[in-house]
Structures are given as C-alpha cells and as structure tokens.
Chain A
Amino acid sequence: MATTLTPKQTDAPSTDGGGFDDVGDGGYGGDDGRGGGWSNELTPPPEGYSLAIRLTIVSITMLFLALTSAYIFNRARLQPLVTPRVLWVSTSFILASGVTMELARRALRRRLEDRFRLWISATMLLGLCFLGAQIVLWKRLVASGFYVNKNHHSGYAYIFTGLHGAHLIGGLIALAYVMARRPASWTAVRRRVSVDATALYWHFLDGLWIYLLILIFYWR
C-alpha cells in the first residue's frame, strides 16, 4: 500500500542561479507533531530566509553586546570631544535610507517594478553616502586629535563605527544582488522574501547606528 504523494510543483528550482537557494524543494517543517496540516507545495520555505537573517541579526547583536561590555569594562566612556557636524549628515543619510528601503519593499509587494528599482537604487545611494560621510567623520575626528590609540574611548569609537560600516557594506552587497538578479530567474515569492529579509537587516543597521551614536557620543 505504497501511497505516493506527488506534490504540486509551483516553483522550479534554479540550478544555475546565484544566491544560496540552489535547492528548490521545500521543507514541510515536519508538521510539528500536530499531524497533517503540511503544505503540499514545493515552494522554498520562505521562513528560511527570514529566519536566516533573524539569526544573523541575533549573532551581530551578540557581537555588539560583547563590544559594549568591553567598552564598559574598560571604563571607556566619553572623553571631552567636539562632535563633528558631519555626524548629523551621516545620520540623516542612514535614516533616509531606512525610509527608501521601506518604500522599495512596499513597491515590490504591490508589484510596481519600476518604483521598486528606483527605491532600491536610492537606498543603495544613500547607503554609499552614509559610508562616505562616515569617512569624512573619521577624518574630522583625526584632525581634531582624536586618534585611534588616543584613549579607550577613541579606540572603541573607531571599532564601533568601523564594524558598523563593514556590516553595512554587507547590506549593500545584498541590495546589489537583489537588484542585479533578473526577476525571471526566481519566483515572485522568493524574490519578495529576499527583499523583506534584506530590509529587515537594513533596518537593524539603522537602529544599531542610533544606538552607537548615543553610546559613543553622548553616554557618560
């Protein structure tokens, strides 16, 4: 009595494409013991992407928590420092990029392809501007004698901003990937889920920056 289930095939796998989603079949999540209720479809588990990005965020949070504890342990709190004004420029860039990211995400949900591309480009541009402004910020800080090894506070300031920037570059690469990949080469669901995951990551970096801003420049 071999019952063989032939699931509906809604999503052909891309055997060649980029990304990590080489395998097209989906999990059933094992129905978690409730029996039945499993999906008959073969879409990739969309929660896979968002789960992966959430886990990444957890891990990065641990990284910054560990650094914050070290910062506190070293008693590295704020030393007298003139806050360069470019700080506000970079902050506005990253906040604005959060908004455009959200607009891009919504545009995709409503299947407005052109607008989606527009807003993603804007997000990338703002991200790049943020990085540029951060470099100017570093230069200003160095010019005011705030060297990396001046004191603990300065050291941590560069580590925090540097690591944040490095993670933002990762976000830019993800955005570039979402932009560059032909819509036809992956399914709408998978595309949307990837964009959602990227957006989540981007908002996280946004929030992280606000946290770092307060920690480095205001918290005593």
Chain B
Amino acid sequence: MSEEIQALPQIKKPATFIGKYVFSRDHKIIGLQYFFLALAAALAGTLMSLLIRLRLAWPQERWPLLEMIFPNGFSDGLMKPEFYLAMVTMHGTMMVFMVLSVAPQSAFGNYFLPIQIGAREMVFPRLNMLSFWLTFASFVVLIAALFVAGGAPIGGWTFYPPLSAIASAGPGQGAGADLWLVSIGVFCLAAFLGSINFIVTTLTRRTKGMSLMRMPLTCWGWFTTACISLLAFPVLLVAGLLLFLDRNFGMSFFKPAGLVVTGQVIEGGGGSPLLWQHLFWFFGHPEVYLVIIPVMGVISHVMATFARKPVFGHRAMVTAMLAIGALGFLIWGHHMFVSGMNPRLGLAFSVLTLVIGVPSAVKTFNWLGTLWGARIRFTTPMLFAIGFVSLFVSGGVTGLVLGQMALDMVFHDTYFVTGHFHMVMGVAAVFGIFAATYYWFPKMFGRMMNETMGKLHFWLTFAGVYAIFVPFHLLGIAGHPRRYADTLWFDFLKPLEPLHIFITIAAFVTAAAQLIFAGNFLLSLRKGARAGDNPWEATTLEWTVATPPPMENFAGRLPVVHRGPYEYSTPGAAKDYSMQTESLD
C-alpha cells in the first residue's frame, strides 16, 4: 500500500462544453488539443510533400485532376515551379513548427508532465490555455498564407533574405510571406508562455518524494526543452520582426546595397543577408534540439518499460540532455560554412559541432545498454523506440560528415543535407511521436490500440522511410541541389530521374501505410480492448491514476514517491516492477 496526501481543495469543474473542451484549463485537454492540432498539421504537411514528390518524379506529367483542386498551382496540368516551391516552404514550416515543435513537447508534455511529477495541474492553467490558442492562431495564419493572392511564400522554411525581404521577388513573396512571418511571430509568443509554464511547474509542483533525479526522463526532456525554448524563440522573434520591417516599412536590415531583383534596382540597402542567417540559426540549431530532446525522453521511458530494465546510466542520460541543450547554442555556424565566414571561425564551429556528437553518442550507447541482455517485450511502442535509435544513428553519422567544413563545402544545399535532417530530426521525431502515441493511448483514451495493425504500421513505415531517405543521400553525393523545381534543365541531374521515381513511389507507399495508423487509432478509440490502469506494468505515476485520468489527476489526493522512476526487475523483488509510489519495505 502507499502513502498519500489527502483532501485537497477541489478545483471548480467547468460545466459547459466550451469550458470543458474548447477553452479548457485542464492540462490533459490542452495536451489533446495540441495533439490533434499536430495531427492536422502532419496531415497537411504530408499531402504537401506528396505534391513535391510528384513534380520531382514526373516533372513533365500533366495532372488535370490536381489542377481542379489547385487552379493557381497548375497551368495546362503542369505543376508551376512557384507552386512547387510554395509546397516545399509550407511543408517544411508545417512540419518543423506545427508538428515537431508541438507534438513531443506541448502535446505529450502538457498531458503527462503534471501527472508524472505528481501535480494536479500546470502552475498557470490559464496561461496554458492561452499558449494553445496562440499556437492555434499561428496555425490558422500559416494556412491562410496558402489562400492569399500570390499564394504561399517560396523562400523555404529558412526564409533567407534578401529575396524574402522583397515582395516583388516572386509570387508568394507578397502577402503570403507577410502571413508566414506573422504566424511565426505568434508561434514564438506561444512557445515562450508554454516554456515558462513547463519550467515553473517542474521546479515547484513536484509531489513529496519526487526529487529531481526521481523524475522520469520524459520530464527531464520537457524541462530541458522548455529552457531551450525560453532562450531561442526570442531570437527568432527578433529576426522575424526585423524582416517584417524590411518588407513593409522600407527598412533594409537585410538588403544589401545595389541589389537588383527581377530587373529592378531595390531601394535602400546597406543591410546584410548574413544577419538573418546568424539570427535564424542561433534559433534554428537549438530548435532542432528542442524537437529531439523531448523525443529522447520518451524513447528512454518507453524503452525502460519494455526492456524491463532501468535506463542504463540514468544520470548520464540527464547530463547528456542538458549538455546537448547547452552546447546547441554554440554551433549555429555549421549552417553557414559556405557563407564566406573566416575559416578559423568555421573551424571553431566545426569542432564544437563534433563535440556535440559526444553526448549524442552517450545517449545512443545508453539506449543500447538498456536493451543489452534485456528480455524485451516487442510491443508496437517498443518497435518505434528501437526504430528511433536506428534512425537517429543513421542521421547522426551524416551529421558528422556535414560538421566538417571541407566536406560541407560539397554537400551544403544538396539532398545530402535534406537526407541528414529528415533521418535525424524529421522521421526520428515522428517515430518518437508514434512511440508516445502507442504507449500512452491506453492512458489517454482508456483502450488499447491494436497490436497487429500497429506492427504492420511500424514495419511498413520503417522500411518506407529508409527507402525514401537513403536515396536522398545518393542524390546529394551526385550533387543534386535542394529546392530545385526543374530537374530536367541540368544534364547532370537527368540520370538521377529513376531514383526520384523510386523515392516518390516509396513515399506514396509510406504515406498510405499511415492510413493503417489512422484506422487503428479510430477503431481502437471505439472498439479497442479496455485498458486497465497499468496495462504495460510500468512504474511511473501516470500508471497509478485512473484510466483515463480524472480532472485533477489524483482524485483529490497527491501521491508520495519513494523510488526512482525505472525500478524494473529489481533482484529479490516479488514482481518485476516497483511503482514509484510503493514504499521501500
């Protein structure tokens, strides 16, 4: 039996539907809101990527049906290059911001951080609601960019000036680009509010006995990420603000003098496009870590559960996370090796970049150490967790290639980079999201997901993403540039066409495999086997509460914690897991 803290004053329960599910202050509802927002964004982002793939594989094919859906994006059934570029930009923005920065942190973090540390709520529930609705507004504005005159911006998710600073630089660089900037600005505010809530909740709302080192690694991931957000997003906000002023108020922070765009001399001048690169990547590099760190937390958590072993090197895992978070702020220059920077500075950035490989490797070896000699339960979430490690290693290795200046001179802005970050960030994080969904679905919705469909989904997706993204590296080695709509204009790209066709087919198959997930999700929601409170026989606090957790999580009581988070297979114990609330004797 366990000790508990009893009889807390009750929070008034919202009576109306709107209070309960729309403007909710319940961290679990807000977590689900974020989750479904990310799912919607993922759907949009995936459809965009399929359009991108169509043009790359069959650049001269006519698509009259698609022209009916996107009358401005096609002419005579041929996809216009600017539409292609708009899709590239929107796909990247949608995925990086609305999916990968939202699902691992804001969705699962909101839902499970308070429960896992034994709190009834986030510290600032209203602020939490505000963060969600700001994120939602940001999403709506981003989508709106597709529908304004000229369409969505075409500058890529990195939005490099000077062209992004000039409305006449192309279709989509007008109103679409302004909306893009507004959307990102609002997203920055939302991320700021969210990070305050996460940090304060973690530091002040832990229940009795929940020391920092007894927190599950998920909580450490969310905490580290919140710290990164707090420091990184203001810089993006500044960059966006300056660019907005450049575009709309005749400033020229980013526009160099004497610039000629589409035959016109641009007014003003005296700014520097490199300023954007510095500001953007000072944010951008930490951004990629704030995507992956909460995922790393989830992976460790899931892995311990199904390996039935404590996470190998728990303390090293925490230290590595913090080290990655801190070092992440020092290496933005590796995105700018070809910007003409002083080679000595480049060398410094290069060395620091390789240094960050050390904590990354520590994490990887600790995951392998956790699996070593374990009696693994190969459930769907576990498969996705192992798949994550595979992808993270495959993508990390190419990171080490790109981190060296001399090699990056060749690979910069080729498909090699695209391959690198899709492996290590894109798909790896998506695997983390799937692992988390399969793992926590029973707790969130009270029913189990179907294992057979889950495993089928995993294997198809796993094979699919390798089939898509390994060839990306080959394209890159052959010198194929990123973000080119017209591959047929260049002789050296023509022989690569079959590879493009292969990738596109793989992409469609993989995308179709996601329907299995969607089907499983919807089916399990209604028909799945009822989940008990602790279906995975796991140890942490979310498995002590009712399924699904009631308002305030612990039904007017707070748990008292006696143990570390991952006491699996303790020698001499009666069961192979001891929950955190079980007292020691």
Contacts and interface: CB of A to CB of B under 8 A. Distances in A.
Contacts of A55: 195-196, 199-200, 230
A22 B126 contact: yes
B249 interface: yes
A42 B8 contact: yes
Contact of A22 (B11, B208, B231, B274): B11
B279 A70 contact: yes
B213 interface: yes
B210 A30 contact: yes
B9 A7 contact: no
A74 interface: yes
Contacts of B210: 28, 30
Interface in B1-59: 1-9, 11-12, 25
Contacts of A184: none
Contacts, number: 177
A13 interface: yes
Contacts of A24: 8-9, 11
Contact of B125 (A9, A23, A60, A69): A23
B230 A2 contact: no
Contacts of A60: 234
Contacts of A31: 208-209, 211
A211 to B, nearest CB: 16
B253 A5 contact: no
A5 B4 contact: yes
Contact of B3 (A4, A38, A52, A69): A4
Contacts of A16: 12
A32 B268 CA distance: 57
Given A13-B9, A27-B206, A30-B208, A152 B270 contact: yes
B234 A63 contact: yes
Interface string A1-28: 1111111010011011001111111111
Contact of A4 (B6, B209, B249, B272): B6
A35 B207 CA distance: 12
Given A7-B5, A52-B196, A149-B268, A27 B204 contact: yes
B194 to A, nearest CB: 12
Given A33-B212, A155-B253, A48 B9 contact: no
B124 interface: yes
Interface of B: 1-9, 11-12, 25, 117, 119-121, 123-127, 192, 195-196, 199-200, 203-215, 230-231, 233-235, 237-239, 241-242, 245, 249-253, 268, 270-272, 274-275, 278-279, 282, 557-558, 560-561, 583
Given A5-B3, A42-B8, A73-B272, 16 more contacts: A4-B4, A4-B5, A15-B11, A20-B124, A20-B126, A24-B9, A25-B9, A31-B211, A51-B200, A55-B196, A55-B230, A58-B230, A63-B238, A66-B279, A74-B253, A155-B251
